[in-house]
């Protein structure tokens, strides 16, 4: 629970001042021996700790999920596999797994989403990374519009969706091959564009390096770049931008 939530519970008489004081006095991390859970991350940054599932020992992964769930009431994990999903589901029956994005999450059902992020892909092969972006942003409370398979080899497909893209508070461009989609979108919108290079492409694509270099060298203004296949990072930053836009809109 965040600080505001604790204070609201005190205000409404749901917990005592003494109970609230104990909550706020807890260590900023929880020592688990094999890991140190950053329990105050949400207080500092507005986002709880997220689990990178790939390569984790089964017992460690299960303990981490259970501890974060106890503290937050929900958990987001990235780069998970089906075996890890079955493991988590055995203890947390509400766990859900998406085979495309490899997101493994336990999510609150009463979540309200705000604002709008447009997540665009050049091709269908880029969708797994785009879904990691979209589902991360949705988990963190953003509305997401998916606009897939609108790469530069058929620019008319992108232009047909331009009204939706221009209405978003932030645009994410997910592309492999030559990675040109970020530059194209940067020249069409007045909002920040986050370019995500993917490891899709033939030999000279060099597992996404060509797309990364294209995006870094974009001639379009307002384009920032995350690492190759880093859909989670793009979803996180897009949510930060979206939150600022919603907040500024509310203050006007």
DSSP string, 180-247: THHHHHHTT-SS-EEEEE-S-SSGGGGGGHHHHHHHHT--STTEEE--TT-HHHHHHHHHHHHHHHHH
- How many angstroms separate the most distant Cα atoms in the chain? 63
For 114-251, CATH gives: 3.40.50.1970
At residue 8 the predicted structure's pLDDT band, cuts being 50, 70 and 90, is confident
Measured at the CA of 246, the angle between CA 242 and CA 250, to 5 degrees, comes to 170
Calculate mean pLDDT across residues 218-235.
Answer: 95
Q: What is the pTM of this model?
A: 0.85
Q: What angle do the packed helices 17-25 and 3-11 form, to 10 degrees? A: 170
Q: Which among 63, 62, 68 is positioned nearest to 83, based on CA atoms?
A: 62
Distance CA 208, CA 206 (A): 6
167 band by pLDDT with thresholds 50, 70 and 90: very high
DSSP code of residue 94: T
Tabulate helix, strand, coil % of the chain (nearest 5). Answer: 45, 20, 35
The per-residue pLDDT for 39 is 67
pLDDT digits (tens, 9 = 90+) for 91-149: 999 999 999 999 999 998 888 999 999 999 999 999 999 999 999 999 999 999 999 99
Which residue, among 103, 29, 111, has the nearest Cα to 71 in the 3D structure? 29
pLDDT, tens digit, 9 for 90 and up, residues 14-50: 888 887 777 666 656 565 566 667 666 666 767 778 9
Give the pLDDT mean for 198-220: 94
Give dist(CA 130, CA 82) in Å, integer: 19
Parts of the chain belonging to CATH 3.40.50.1970? 114-251
Q: What is the pLDDT of residue 81?
A: 96
């Amino acid at each position: 629970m965040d600080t505001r939530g604790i204070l609201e519970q005190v205000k409404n008489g749901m917990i005592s001042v003494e109970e609230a004081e104990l909550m706020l006095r807890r260590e900023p991390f929880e020592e688990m021996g094999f890991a140190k859970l950053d329990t105050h991350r949400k207080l500092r940054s507005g986002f709880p700790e997220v689990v990178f599932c790939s390569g984790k020992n089964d017992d460690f992964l299960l303990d981490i999920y259970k501890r974060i769930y106890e503290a937050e009431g929900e958990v987001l994990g990235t780069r998970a596999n089906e075996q890890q999903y079955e493991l988590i589901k055995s203890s947390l029956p509400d766990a859900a797994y998406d085979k495309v994005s490899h997101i493994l999450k336990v999510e609150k059902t009463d979540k309200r989403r705000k604002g709008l992020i447009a997540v665009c892909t050049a091709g269908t092969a880029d969708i797994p990374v785009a879904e990691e972006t979209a589902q991360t942003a949705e988990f963190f409370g953003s509305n997401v519009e998916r606009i897939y398979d609108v790469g530069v080899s058929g620019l008319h497909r992108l232009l047909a969706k331009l009204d939706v893209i221009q209405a978003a508070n932030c645009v994410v461009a997910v592309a492999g091959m030559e990675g040109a989609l970020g530059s194209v979108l940067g020249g069409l919108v007045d909002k920040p564009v986050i370019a995500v290079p993917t490891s899709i492409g033939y030999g000279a694509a060099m597992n996404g390096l060509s797309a990364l270099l294209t995006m870094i060298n974009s001639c379009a203004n307002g384009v920032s770049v995350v690492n190759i296949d880093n859909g989670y990072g793009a979803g996180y930053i897009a949510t930060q931008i979206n939150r600022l836009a919603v907040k500024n809109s509310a203050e006007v």
